[in-house]
Each structure stands twice: as structure tokens, then as C-alpha cells.
Amino acid sequence: MLSEDLKENWERVVGYLGQEFGGGEKPDLDAVLFLIGVQELGSAKRKFKKDEKVNLMHIAICRVLEPYGYYEYEGLDEDGWPHYRLKEKLPNLKAGEQSILMKEAVVRYFRDNEIL
């Protein structure tokens, strides 16, 4: 279950993103991760193929979990895509626990990058 602090901060994140990118509609966790991936790639003004969208979400997951010690940034490839290596195996979590971890990590990402 989400703590009140996390609920409030998550609502701030999705409210902000909804206003900036969603015409007021709050995005779900997958959409937030996609937007973080686009931000990390730095190529917001283009269309992405289906496999690129999956890769963008992977980049976002690695990036937001990096401060927790799970991933380490390795650098950019020749096409400018960021790459991470797994440092520590992610814990076995139930779906709800995974969602809480990701929401905490996303809120931290927005705080650390002074977006909110």
C-alpha cells in the first residue's frame, strides 16, 4: 500500500505530466516511464518504433533504479542510446510491491532532477 507521502508526491508527478504532455489526463506508470526514457534519450521530437518504445521504458527503469544500486550507467552507444549494466539483481517482489518501488523511484527521479 502506498504511504500518504508517496501518494501525494505521485499525484504531483502525474498531475504535472498530465498538464505538460497529456492535455490534463494523468498518465499511468508505463506512460511516465516512457516519458522518462524519452527525456533520458534526449530525442523528444520524433516518432518511435514499437521496439524503440520498449527500449525507452527499459532505459527509464534502469535510470530511476540506478540510485538504488541496481543499475550502473555505462555510456551511450554509437546511436546515442544510453546503456546500463545490472549491478545487483532486483528483489522478487509482488506486482503491487513492484509498482510501489517504481513509483518511489520515479518520484525520486523528479526530485533529483528538480522537475518538481
Residue 116 clears pLDDT 80, i.e. is over it: no
Its pTM stands at: 0.91
Mean pLDDT, the chain, integer: 93
Going by C-alpha positions, the residue among 40, 34, 36, 31 that lies closest to residue 80 is 40
Q: At what angle do helices 29-41 and 50-65 cross, to 10 degrees?
A: 90
User: What stretch of H or E contains 65?
Assistant: helix 50-65
Reading the block at residue 59, the C-alpha cell is 532505459
Query: Taking residues 95-103, what's their average pLDDT?
Result: 94
